[in-house]
Copies of this chain bind each other. A is one copy, B any other.
Amino acid sequence: MSDIQERIAAGLEQAFARHGFAEPSVDTLRDAAGVSLRTLYKYMPSRSDMMLAALEHRHRRYLNRVLDDLPVDQQAAREALMDRVADWMRTEASHGCLFHAAVASEPGSTALRDLLERHKQEVASRAALATGLAGQEIALLLILEGLTQSWPLHGKNAVAAAKGLATSLA
């Protein structure tokens, strides 16, 4: 991926995260990307491609920010994981999971659905590995999804509930 492509994807991700997938026009996306319309369309030939590129970019950033370098101790890793998710929500995604939002905005797109599935799959397996919960990927993912969805309304209380549930998985 070239440098300019990376910068465009980063700008698009910001715009979609802030305003959702329905609202921003391509003109708005161009401003967010910081390039001309011609260049934008050169690298992402349609609005759908812009959505996909933004989500790919977000996927990489999410893995880095939430799942890299968790504590070695498994209980500490579980708590840190929930804190990291909350921190991600606070700074990046105050409206919930961007991948679910994308699929909701275009339920017909199989490309988006595949991307959502890949994202959740990779998050679940890496999270289970880091917390010593291999074999309980689904329960752990359920907690992460629940935290992501309920954080906007319940904040730190949701984090505490998620930690408690993750601990109970043993």
Top 4 closest A-B pairs, CB basis?
A: A146-B146, A142-B146, A101-B104, A139-B161
On whether the beta carbons of B161 and A20 are closer than 8 Å, the reply is no
Q: How many residues of A contact B (CB 8 A)?
A: 41
- A86: min CB distance to chain B, Å: 12
Measured CA separation A107–B152 after assembly (Å): 12
Quick check: is A143 within 8 A (CB to CB) of the other chain?
yes
| A107: chain B residues within 8 A (beta carbon) | 18-20, 23, 95
How many copies are assembled? 2
What are 20 residue pairs bridging A and B, where the CB atoms are less than 8 Å apart in the complex? A19-B107, A19-B108, A20-B106, A22-B106, A96-B103, A97-B149, A117-B153, A138-B157, A138-B158, A139-B161, A139-B164, A141-B146, A142-B143, A142-B149, A142-B158, A142-B161, A142-B162, A143-B146, A144-B146, A165-B165
